[in-house]
Amino acid sequence: MVIHVSVEKRRSGPLRIRGRGLVEGECRGRLLVTREPISFYGGVDPETGRVVERGHELYGESVAGAILVFPYGKGSTVGSYTLLRLARRGRAPAGIVNLVSEPIVIVGCILGRIPLMDSPSPDPIRLRRLIEGTETRMVVRGGIGVLEVGVGV
């Protein structure tokens, strides 16, 4: 039933997914969605932005310029600096959406100036098959984050 409502909203305009804004900014990109947590240290190549963790459902995909949606980060605190390296090389995600953000991702987004939100509603991971790859706008301001899925479609 929820999926049907989301489809109807998308036909009449962009689907708006709201959440808690953590790192302010605005971006556009294609949605890249995974059900699996991501480790930026060892899981994402800081030179290319490709997911290199063997067995990960995004293995081989590039996070560069995408609005990356994943449940939470995992791994070493060096992951924060990997996000910064990605940003400096122009290979970082345009924005990040987590179900629950933890300090490694938050610090990395602050350092790399990558917009970040969490606690999204409706859950974009559950809507993954409907929205993945869709051009999306993300705005994070004043503690509120909004994804506008289907912008320009």
Strand pairing category for 25-33 and 15-23: unpaired
Which of 6, 39, 62, 76 is flagged as catalytic? 76
Nearest Cα to Cα of residue 98 among 20, 3, 16, 30:
20
| Vertex 22 angle, CA 68 and 8, to 5° | 55
Spatial separation of the C-alpha atoms in residues 32 and 62, rounded to whole Å: 9
**Under DSSP, is residue 82 helix (H, G, I), strand (E, B) or coil?**
helix
DSSP 118-147: EEEES-TTTTHHHHTT-EEEEEEETTEEEE
Active site residue 6: no
Angle, alpha carbons 26-109-115 (nearest 5°)? 15
- Residues annotated as catalytic are 76
